[in-house]
Amino acid sequence: MFVWRNIYRGLLMGVSDLIPGVSGGTIAMVLGIYRRLISGINGLMSKNWKKELGFFIPLLIGVGLALLLVSQLMEKLLKHYPQPTFFFFIGLIVGVVPFLLRKVEYKKTFEPVHYGLLILAAVLIASTLFLKGEGTGEIMKSLSFTDYVLLFLSGWLASTAMILPGVSGSFVLLLLGSYHTVIHGLSSFQIPLLLTVGAGIIIGLSLTGKLISLLLKKYTVSTYSVMIGLVIGSVVVLYPGFKSDITLAVTSIGTLLLGLGTAFILGRIEHKQGITD
């Protein structure tokens, strides 16, 4: 049976992966489907892959709609309204942290080591802020074999980051100098480029999914504490600064509150079951 509400979930995840600093894994945790997503990725790589199609086909439809229809909009928002756009996602992420903590029942399950892991993960992700540079790479117009190899590796590494909460696949693309090329390829629908990046993404997802599934099974609370720390740390990376322009400030506060409200609504809808989901 198809899980049709995964279309809007996929749409949100797809939009998030277009924004440097926002992780699709974070949005999956916001939506309460992270663990199901990981098990599903592993299921797709098994002989029972058909059982996962009902979950993934609607999800991929949503992701595809985001990549094909929203990529140009996100380019414009990030170019002309970066501060309000980032503040919306900051609100979304901050708003979901209480739900994640309740999901793991931290008051019962957390020990000092788990708080330490959470803080360490948050500091680790926040420290990537210092990796940001001005050179984000020019658009590759005439792609050589070497460029395709780079794009394949970029997809691989970005998908590995993409599946981890708090780690942005788009940010990895920025560091590798491939971000603008990939976004341009999406908006102009360059099939060879998209297939190359897509192949790297598939391999990265399959390998990382198996590792995370193992960690969630054997070290559930520790893994969740690290993931929550990654989510919290990503807020620092996302923070775009705060300009004193009154209109921009009011708009940014408004989008921050909108993000918080969205997180609250999604949390009430999606986070009704326990950690074993």
Which residues, at least 6 apart from 39, have a Cβ–Cβ distance to it below 8 Å?
213
199-228 pLDDT per residue, tens: 998 888 888 888 888 888 889 899 889 988
Lowest-pLDDT range, 111-115, 129-133, 158-162, 258-262?
A: 129-133
Question: What is the DSSP-derived secondary structure letter of residue 178?
Answer: -
Which residues, at least 6 apart from 255, have a Cβ–Cβ distance to it below 8 Å?
84, 85, 87, 88, 91
Q: Which tokens is 231 given?
A: 């989510």
**Residue 272 scores a pLDDT above 70:** no
**pLDDT for the residue 152:** 92
Asked if 159 and 204 count as a contact pair (C-beta separation under 8 A), the reply is yes
Write the burial class of residue 252 (CB in 10 Å: 0-12 exposed, 13-18 middle, 19+ buried): buried
Asked if 52 and 3 count as a contact pair (C-beta separation under 8 A), the reply is no
More confident of the two residues 10 and 276 = 10
Write the burial class of residue 181 (CB in 10 Å: 0-12 exposed, 13-18 middle, 19+ buried): buried
Which residues, at least 6 apart from 118, have a Cβ–Cβ distance to it below 8 Å?
225, 226, 228, 229, 232
More confident of the two residues 138 and 273 = 138
174-200 pLDDT per residue, tens: 777 787 788 778 777 888 888 999 899
φ, ψ of residue 23 to 5 degrees: the values are -105, 140
Mean pLDDT of 232-242: 83
**Percentage of the residues of the chain whose pLDDT score is greater than 70:** 91
**pLDDT for the residue 273:** 45
**Residue 21 scores a pLDDT above 70:** no
**Residue 135 scores a pLDDT above 80:** no
More confident of the two residues 15 and 195 = 195
Sorting pLDDT into bands at 50, 70 and 90, what band is 144? confident
